[in-house]
Each structure stands twice: as C-alpha cells, then as structure tokens.
Structure 1
Amino acid sequence: MERQHAPSPAVQGLGDASRGRLAYSPPRTQSAPSLREGWPLIAGSWTIFFLGLAILWHANGIFLVQWERAFGWGRGLIAGAFSLGGALSALATPLIGRVADRYSVHRLITGGALTMGVGLVLLALIQAPWHLYLTYTLAYLGFTLMGHVPIGATLARVFLHRRALAIGIAHTGMGSGGILLAPLIPLLIATVGWRWTLAVAGLLAMGVLIPVGATVFRRVPQAPVVGGGQGGQGYTLRQALGMWQFWVLAGAFVSANFALSGVGAHMVPFLADRGVSLQRGALAIALQAFSHVGGKLTFALLAERLQPRYPLAVAYALGGIAVALLVFVGAPWTAYLSAGFVGLAMSATTVFQPILGALYFGTMALGAILGVLFAVTYSVASAGGAVAGLLYDITGTYRVPFLAFLGLLVVGSLLVLATGQRQRPPISSPTPPAPEPGRRS
C-alpha cells in the first residue's frame, strides 16, 4: 500500500479550502490561560494603549494650540495631519494583521515602539507643515504596528475563557491615558517647552514599550485547539470577505464611528456656540474620558453574559441619544450627559471588533480579518470631524451634520442587530506549530 506523506504546515494551514472547508487539526492538551495566568499580557497591552494614545490622541488638542502659536499655522492645516496620519495608518492594518497571524507578535510591538519613539523625537524638530505631516504619520504608524489589531488578535486567541473581559481590561488603557497622563503634558510644556516634551515622550515610548514587546509579548502562550473550541479555528480572510456578516459589521462600524468621531471632534465648539464656557466644555471632555474607561469594562462584562451584538447595539443607541440631546435640547446640563453617552459609545468599537471577529470568523486568520475591518472603519471614520467642520462652514450651524450623525448611529445600531447569531462554529484548522530553534518567529 502506498505510504501517505504528512502535509507540510503551509499546506495544513490551507486545509481543504478549495471545497470551502478547513482541515481539522489534532487536539492539543494544554489548557487556555486564566486571567490570573495571563495578566502580564493584559498589563502589557494596557501599557501600550496608555502611552500611545495619551500622546497621539488625547494630547492632540494641546499640541495643536502650541503649533498654532509657534508657527501661525491654521487649525485646519494642523488637524489635517492628525486625520491623514490616522487614515494612512489604518490602511496599513490589513498587512499588519497578516504579519500578526504568521509571526510572533513581539516583532510588531518592538518595531512599533521604535518607530513611534523616533517619530515623536523627529516631531519635536519640525519647522514646516510637511515636517508635521510626515513625522506625525510616522509616529502614528508606530502605534498602529503595536495597537488595536495585533493586541486584539492576540488576546482573542489566548484567552478562550473570559475573552471579553481580558480585551476590555486591556483597552481601558486608552481612556486611562487621557485621565492620568494627558493632563501632565501641559505642565511639562510650561516647564521645558513643547519640543522637549515631545522628545521626552518619544524616549519614554521607546524606553518602556520596547522592553514590553521584547519580554511580555515574546512569551505569548499558544492557544489550545480542542474539539469544539476556538483556539486555532476559523475562516481564512478570503472566506470571511465572502460572508455577509463581515460586510454588515463593517457597515455598522463605519457608520457609527464616522458619526462619533465627528461629534467628539466638535463637541466643545458646539457647546461654546451655546454659551457653555471652555472650562465647562473641558469638564465634559473629562467626563467623556471617564465613561470611556468605564464603558470598556461594562461592555466587556455584558459581552460575557449576553450575545455581544446586543450591548454593541445599545452602545451606538446611547451615542444617538447623546446627539439628540445636543440637537433638540441644547441646555448646558445636557453637555455632561451627552459627553458621558458619547464616551460609552466610543468605547464599544475597539472592544467588540475582536470579540465579534472571533465569534463569527474564528481566530485562525483573525489578525488579517481585524486588519481589514479596522482599515475600512477608521480610514472612513477619520473624516467625520472634517465633514462636520465643512458642513458647519457652509450652513453656519452644527444642526445639519449632527442630525446626519444621529441617523448614522441609528443605522449602525440596526446593522449590528441584523448580524444575527453565528449560524455555525468556524470549522477548525490547525494552529501553526511552534517554531523550531533557529527558525524565525
């Protein structure tokens, strides 16, 4: 009888894709890590979000004012660098996701930390607008190499139990940076100036995040593959792109986050037009950051007890209520309630993208799938603020863009509900074997 040769790992990874199926793998015996056992990975992820977004998101308005005063550049010109950096970095996430699926994620983390740190140091040396656009994009690309897609895919693979809570805890670093670190940046600027502040931030990013990537993420445990589990099971990117749930989810994320980015960027100017002082407007933003942190934990816990589409739909509905309060009531007290609801709605997407991605498509190619979802979502959503500003310039009021945002949030909530339950579990596929000594990882 002719002896059959075992297929190579590459062929195993393809499985029986030509017939629309994936090959089953032999079960592994190791158990999935608990939250306690996996806390270094959660803490490392939290630290990346904490440092990266405190500098490159929460502090954007602070540096905008500094550059406006130093160079006389218009706010639109400066804000354009933020939008372009975010959009171009989002377009890189499909490739980043593929790398996260195929190789050890520690290479992305360490490379991203180095890139972000160098970008921030170069940002401290800018003299012309093109310097700003180039260096900010470089720094944001560095964060993207470390951020949502690699971390989301890694946590979803590793934590088969309490997956939603692990992802939620890690993502609280996003809002925590705005609460704890961003308020210190004006003090540092007042002491040493904005150039040295950015240089220190770049050195801090490299000094903290490179060791995190080289140690914590180098020892990421392999997720088990068992008969009915999701450790290394799922669809390929091509198969996921052929599923209607993918495009319904993408439509929900795009519509809701386009609206939320526009409302978030223009909430303080909107309140100023209504006679709310800048101090009270700043308080509303602080409440938004607090609710952003609390929302991630709350929605993560709800996702463990309910079908995840339900709390996500509620989150986007709360965003719609926030916009409705701003448009139809407009009283100063609504600013605080609206800010809280907007923070809750904003907190939902980055938590639920990996949760729903793993639920509908499995974890075998989750990095690539999340990369495409992230690229589609944020390359479009980053334009929300610019569109709101353009409509305001044309009409002289925020009523038109905010009513459009209200409609988009309703659409996003309904699309999430339309995804339905997962019809069948992803068919299993083997997790790539651990690299042999001397091979790349």
Structure 2
Amino acid sequence: MTATARARWIVVSATGVLTGLGHGFGAFAVSALLKPLAVDLDTGRGAVSTAIGLGRLVSGLASPLVGRATDRWGTRWISIVGIIVAAIGLLLLGFVRNEFELYIAWSVVFSIGTAIGFTVTLDKLVVTTLSERRGMALAIRFSIAAVVSTFVVPIVSYMGDTVGWRQTSIVWGFVLLAMVAVPLVWFREQNIQTTSIGPALTDAVPVQRSVLRDRNFWVIGLALAAQAGVTTGLSVHLVSIMTDHGLAATSAGSLFGLMILLSIPVRILSGYVADKFATRILPIVLGLLLVLEALAIASFAWEPGLLSLITLIGAMGVAAGAPTLLVLVLCSKLFGESKFATIQGSLMLMQVPATMVAPMAAGYLYDYTGNYEMVSWGFAAVLLSGGTLVMLLIRTDQVEAGA
C-alpha cells in the first residue's frame, strides 16, 4: 500500500471515529438518557421524545444547506464547526431545567452541530477520497463508527447510572471538543481535489438534470425516510423497551452496544455487494433488508418476549448501517458524485417528517397504552411498504446503458 493510499484509508477511519462519538451519541446513546431525563425534568417520555424528534427536524432542514456548503467549500472547516457546535449543545444540556431549555440545547444546538459535523460532510469526504472502492470505504467508515458506538452506549449508560445524565452530557461535550484535532490533523482539502472524477457513469448522468424529476430519487427518498423513521423511533426507545422487560439499565446499554457491534459483518458484506454487484441488484437487496426488518418488528408486536426482543435487536443491528450504505452507493451510481453531498442532503431532508414523528409517536403511544405493541405494528407496516416500493419501482436500465 502506497503512502497516499494509506493516508486516504486513515481519513476513512477517522470519519468513522468521529461519527461514532458524535452521531452515535445522538442516535443511540440518548436512549439511555430517555428515562432519567423524563424523571428529572418531571415530564413524560413523550415530551423528551418530542425534543429528540424536533432535533431530527432541525438536522434534516440543515442537511441540504450543509451539503451545498460541503460541495462548494470542502469538508475540513465545516466539520470543525459542526463538532464545536455539537459540543456546545451537550454542555448546555447538562444545565437544562425545563422542557424549553431541553429543546434549545438538544433540538437546536446539538442537532445543528450533528448535521454539520458528523453526517453529510464526512460521507462526501469518503466518497470522493476513494472513488473506485467507495462501497468498501463506506463499509469501513460505518463499521468503525459502529465499534465506537458499541462502547459509547454502555459507557453512557454506566455514567448515567453513576454520575447522572447531566454530568454525562458535560463530559461528552468535552470529549467532542477534543475531537476537533482529528480534522485539523487529517482532513486536508487535497484529499478531495486530487481524486479522479469517478466512473463514466458520473458523466453519463449529469447532476445538472434536476433530480426532482427523477422517479428514482423520490422512490429512494421515501424508502429511506421509512427506514430512518422506524430505526430512529426504535433506537430512541430501545433501552426503555429492554428495561421494561426486566433488564437492568447497564445490561440494556451493553446489549444495545452489542447490537451495533453485530452490524459490522453486515456492513462489510453490504460494501462488497455494492462494489461487485450490478446496479440493478442493489434495489432488490435494499428492499429485502427493509422487508426482513419489518418481519422482525412484527414478531415482537405479535408475541412480546425475550426471544422476539432478541430478534428485534438483531434486525436493528442490520438496519443500523446496511441500508444507508447501499443507498449512498446507489445514489453515487445513479446521480454521480460531483453534487453527491447536495443530493444526500436533500434525501436527509426528506427523512425529516419520519424521523421527527416516529420517536414522538412511540413516546406518546407508550404513555397512552403502557406498552410498545401498537408502535411495533405501525413500524412494521411502514417498513414493509418501503421495501416493496424499492423493489418494484426503482429503474436502473438508463444508468446501466450509459455506464
């Protein structure tokens, strides 16, 4: 391996670490803080879930702007700004006294920072750094993020039990501030500028043609919104679901972390499939993943118990990264890479309604029914529809003809 190639894989690895520490906290570890937040602020799980859901809204609204800025100015300083803003949000979270302040700290400040520093910007960096093996590069990035998140969830759960959720938020804010050194040292704009334009497909499907008139864009967006909404809704409540079934908070956090860890082989396999298989195969694989996740969720709704809960956790492990990886590679093949971040930001914006409503709906339905069965049935139906939509409607014939 040449020095240049080694440097590029270091960049890929660094993006995984950052995402695991930042986005991993917001997407997964927050589940461990749901109960203590609700108790300490004297409110219900629905109200805390609303703050988390509004955070998804803010992130989604910011994503297209972040994508445009990344395509125009590069990744280094944008990621630095995002890390700092996210850290400030967690520091503020440690001092909130009511729901309104929770919304400001989490829903606005932390969520904006996460959108800027840990998602679109870093995906764009990976895609443009390794254009020939971008599927495997994304798999490595997401796998490293999964490993880091695996440790983050039980650590946050343990800290929440021992020192409290406020101190945990403050400590994690300083951890993120320390991570500013990563883009300062390893993210150089030449990582983007020296890469090749990409495969002939990039020129065959010019981004100037409005993707808003492309059916594939809308099918992918709707399916990804369904998957993201269900995954977000379950992730926020998963620790609570496990503790409701008798597991201790620390054990639930560890099992949550194991779920993320078990997703790594699936991510690697997805990266291999994305690189080696024809474009027309990817929608079928993506749709099947969504359908299988729907069946796992339905099994928990049908017969809540330890076995169905383990099945649900396993399905969540698959859903934690494989569908997103396949979508990113599919989009790069369908629409090209020159405006990749802008397109990804638009897709993330389409996820906003689902990722905002799903945690809130799950929280309020739990408050009303006292269980998560109705939530599970609804989530299973949404995923089944999304998976079917992908397999039946995405067309890749024009793309493969121009490749």
- TM-score by length of structure 1 reads 0.79
| Equivalent residue, structure 1, for 2:275 | 304
Distance in 2 of aligned mates of 1:120 and 1:332 = 34
1:224 pairs, out of 193, 196, 218, with 196
| Equivalent residue, structure 1, for 2:225 | 254
1:277 pairs, out of 239, 246, 254, with 246
| 1:218 aligned counterpart, secondary structure | coil
Q: What letter matches 2:217 in structure 1?
A: F
Unaligned runs of 5+ in 1: 1-31, 429-441
CA contact (8 A) 1:104 1:218 kept: no
Whether 1:420 aligns to 2:391 is no
Whether 1:245 aligns to 2:183 is no
| Equivalent residue, structure 2, for 1:90 | 60
Whether 1:382 aligns to 2:356 is yes
Distance in 1 of aligned mates of 2:217 and 2:338 = 16
| 2:132 aligned counterpart, secondary structure | coil
Q: What letter matches 1:76 in structure 2?
A: G
| Equivalent residue, structure 2, for 1:20 | none
Larger Rg: 1
Offset, 1:52 = 0.2
Distance in 1 of aligned mates of 2:361 and 2:239 = 16
1:376-403 Cα deviation digits (max 9, x unpaired):
1144233113223444555666444433
| Equivalent residue, structure 2, for 1:185 | 156
Whether 1:148 aligns to 2:119 is yes
1:370 pairs, out of 344, 350, 358, with 344
Instruction: Identify if the C-alpha distance between structure 1 residues 91 and 305 changes in structure 2 by more than 3 Å, giving closer, same or farther.
Output: same
Whether 1:342 aligns to 2:312 is no
Q: What letter matches 1:47 in structure 2?
A: V
Distance in 2 of aligned mates of 1:48 and 1:74 = 31
Distance in 2 of aligned mates of 1:48 and 1:251 = 28
| 2:338 aligned counterpart, secondary structure | coil
Instruction: Identify if the C-alpha distance between structure 1 residues 56 and 356 changes in structure 2 by more than 3 Å, giving closer, same or farther.
Output: same
1:304-335 Cα deviation digits (max 9, x unpaired):
23232232222212201211221334442222
Q: What letter matches 1:224 in structure 2?
A: S
Offset, 1:341 = 1.4
Distance in 1 of aligned mates of 2:293 and 2:199 = 40
Offset, 1:420 = 2.8
| 1:127 aligned counterpart, secondary structure | coil
Instruction: Identify if the C-alpha distance between structure 1 residues 146 and 272 changes in structure 2 by more than 3 Å, giving closer, same or farther.
Output: closer
| 2:351 aligned counterpart, secondary structure | helix
CA contact (8 A) 2:262 2:317 kept: yes
Distance in 2 of aligned mates of 1:177 and 1:71 = 29
1:320-331 matched pairs, under 5 angstroms? 320-331=294-305
1:117-196 matched pairs, under 5 angstroms? 117-136=87-106, 137-189=108-160, 193-196=164-167
Whether 1:357 aligns to 2:357 is no
CA contact (8 A) 2:94 2:170 kept: yes
Offset, 1:37 = 4.5
- TM-score by length of structure 2 reads 0.86
CA contact (8 A) 2:201 2:402 kept: no
Offset, 1:201 = 1.6
Instruction: Identify if the C-alpha distance between structure 1 residues 34 and 344 changes in structure 2 by more than 3 Å, giving closer, same or farther.
Output: farther
Instruction: Identify if the C-alpha distance between structure 1 residues 305 and 221 changes in structure 2 by more than 3 Å, giving closer, same or farther.
Output: same
Offset, 1:106 = 0.8
CA contact (8 A) 2:131 2:198 kept: no
Whether 1:74 aligns to 2:48 is no
1:106 pairs, out of 59, 73, 76, with 76
Q: What letter matches 1:204 in structure 2?
A: V
Q: What letter matches 2:45 in structure 1?
A: R
| Runs of 4 or more consecutive aligned structure 1 residues displaced over 6 Å after TM superposition | 425-428
Choose 78-87 or 214-223, whichever is displaced more. 214-223
| 1:92 aligned counterpart, secondary structure | helix
Instruction: Identify if the C-alpha distance between structure 1 residues 385 and 35 changes in structure 2 by more than 3 Å, giving closer, same or farther.
Output: farther
Instruction: Identify if the C-alpha distance between structure 1 residues 361 and 392 changes in structure 2 by more than 3 Å, giving closer, same or farther.
Output: same
Distance in 2 of aligned mates of 1:374 and 1:334 = 30
Offset, 1:42 = 0.5
Distance in 2 of aligned mates of 1:271 and 1:215 = 40
1:213 pairs, out of 159, 169, 183, with 183
Distance in 1 of aligned mates of 2:136 and 2:338 = 21
| Equivalent residue, structure 1, for 2:306 | 332
Offset, 1:97 = 0.5
1:316 pairs, out of 271, 283, 290, with 290
CA contact (8 A) 2:129 2:192 kept: yes
| 2:320 aligned counterpart, secondary structure | helix
1:261-285 Cα deviation digits (max 9, x unpaired):
3344445655677xx3224765653
Distance in 2 of aligned mates of 1:427 and 1:282 = 48
Instruction: Identify if the C-alpha distance between structure 1 residues 151 and 74 changes in structure 2 by more than 3 Å, giving closer, same or farther.
Output: same
| 1:277 aligned counterpart, secondary structure | coil
Offset, 1:84 = 1.0
Distance in 1 of aligned mates of 2:104 and 2:309 = 36
**RMSD between aligned residues:** 3.0
Distance in 2 of aligned mates of 1:191 and 1:267 = 20
| Equivalent residue, structure 2, for 1:433 | none
| 2:23 aligned counterpart, secondary structure | helix
| 1:308 aligned counterpart, secondary structure | helix
| 1:380 aligned counterpart, secondary structure | helix
CA contact (8 A) 1:87 1:380 kept: no
